[in-house]
Structures are given as C-alpha cells and as structure tokens.
Amino acid sequence: MGVTLLADEVYVLRGFKEHDQLEVYDVINYRLQRRLTVPNLRGLADMTSCEHYRCVYIANYGVECIHRVDLQGATTQWPVNDVPRGISVNAAHNLLVTCRKVRKIKEFSSHGDLLRELTLPDDVTSPHHTIQTHNGEFIVCHGRFDEPVNRVCKISADGRHVIKSHGGQRGPDIGQYIVPGFLAVDDNEFVFVVDVGNRRVTLLSPTLDYVRQVVSRDDLKWEPVRVCPDIHRQRRFVGENEWKDGQWTAGRVIVFSV
C-alpha cells in the first residue's frame, strides 16, 4: 500500500498485517534489512518520507490519523479529524494530507501542528493525492470509477482556482484516466500519474502536457497503486496489487530502469 525512499533504503508498506507492517530494503540489492511494527495501524491510505526530518509518514484512514516513524523505528501519531487519503511533503518540509470526502488539503508540521487547510474548487471531486510545486501551486488528481470526470489539475496557491488540467471524461484513451489515484514529481517537476483503472503510469510535463506512458499495461501484472521515482539511480519503483473477489490478495514492487 506504499513505497518510498529514505536514507538509501526502500520502505514498503504492507496491508492487512497486525505486526511488521513496514519492510525496509537496501536500495542497491533490495535485500530485506528489518521489519518495523506501527501500533494502532488500521486502514492504510498512503505513505511518504521526509529527508529533512529523516522520517516516514503513514496515513491511516481507520482511525483518521497520521503516524510518524523515525529511522530508529520510534513512532508517534496525531489526528487529522477527517479521513486522510494521499500524503506528500512540500518544500517547507511540511506534510500535505488530502482528505477526499471533504475535498480539503490539510498542511501539518512534522510533529502534527495544523498549519492551514484549503477547500478545493467544487469541480475537483473525490481528490486522491496532492503535491505542491516550488511556486506554491498544487497538483491534484481526482475522480473515481463511478464519476464521469477523472483528471489531474494544477490549482492556484490559495486552493480556489483550477489553472490547467489534463484528462476529463473518464476513459481508456491517451489523455484520459480511470481513477488517477496517486502522483509523484521529479526534481524538474515532471508529474508521474498512477492511472489505476487503465493499469499504467503516465508522465506529464510541469505544465500538465502529455509526454508519454512510462509504465504500460504490458509491464504490469496487476493494478498499479503507487509510484516512487529514484532520480539519483535512474530507477522507478511501482507498487502493484491484485484485486480479486472484492479484496486485495497479492502485491509486489517492480523496479524499472529509466
């Protein structure tokens, strides 16, 4: 349910486990280094990391909170007071939490102080994930299987206006999405979009223009759920899961060279 990089290690978040939910691997040879248990972890929504504070964050929709895990495995948590979905760290080293049901972005300090919250425009329905650009604008992906509009939007720094979007009517064609579930941005602010329903990862320019498919349906066995670019080693980590009989039954992380 999550894959992220921190301190030359790969953190993998495993769902439906009471213990050892976090597995930590060496980034070079992918050997398992250790397992970490996060108490009270019920309902995994997302995971991200912060190099500045040397920690990993986990969004927990089951108890509507954020867990913070440091390199030594020590954990703390704080309430979101709404159901969290996707999370990311901005240039100020604060945590952005996307709350899908209330269409809000909440910004927290590394220790859980609520700094601000923004309500997204009315036409940004069911937002999944938000990333803030260096100039303060937001990239948001939104839309579900049962909603007609599925797209990626660039939103003004005050959260009020859609500046530009990619996608629109839900569908399988190039330029369309079926549940654009999660995002990643590289150092040049190119945007990776995990297109869950179409089983692919799309690359967009910083202005949200289509570039190419970086992971196609042929590259995957199941549904992609996360993407994490490793810029320094020119690799791309993609987490994928099998959805069968109404539940997740298997999962893995695939490493692509760039």
pLDDT of res. 42: 82
The whole-number pLDDT of residue 20 equals: 72
Q: How many domains does the chain have?
A: 1
Q: Tokens in use for 76?
A: 């703390």
Evaluate whether residue 28 is within a structural domain.
no
Q: What is the pLDDT of residue 41?
A: 85
Q: Does a structural domain hold residue 18?
A: no
Establish if 31 belongs to a structural domain: no
Q: Which residues of the chain have pLDDT under 70?
A: 16
CATH assignment of the domain containing 45: 2.120.10.30
Spatial neighbors of 225 by CB under 8 A, at least 6 apart, are 1, 181, 182, 194, 196, 239, 240, 241, 251
Residue 239, in any domain of the structure = yes
pTM of the model: 0.95
**Does residue 32 form part of some domain?**
no
Task: Specify the pLDDT at position 215.
Answer: 94
Asked, for residue 89, whether it belongs to a domain, the answer is yes
Residue 183 to residue 175: CA distance in whole angstroms: 16
Residues 7-20: tens digit of each pLDDT: 999 999 987 677 77
Contact 203, 213 (CB under 8 A): yes
What does the pLDDT read at residue 258?
A: 78
What whole-number distance in Å separates Cα of residue 4 and Cα of residue 18?
A: 21
Residue 156: give the domain boundaries. 39-257
Average pLDDT of the chain is 94
Q: Is residue 15 part of a domain?
A: no
Q: Which pLDDT value is given to residue 40? A: 86
Q: What is the pLDDT of residues 39-63, one digit of tens each?
A: 888 888 999 999 999 999 999 999 9
- With 0-12 / 13-18 / 19 or more C-beta atoms within 10 angstroms meaning exposed / middle / buried, residue 114 is middle
The reported pLDDT for the residue numbered 245 is 84
The dihedral over CA atoms of 34, 39, 43, 44, expressed in degrees to the nearest 10, equals -30
Task: Note whether residue 147 is domain-resident.
Answer: yes
Enumerate long-range contacts of 250-254, CB under 8 Å, 24 or more apart: 250/222, 251/1, 251/14, 251/15, 251/222, 251/225, 252/221, 253/3, 253/10, 253/12, 254/219, 254/220
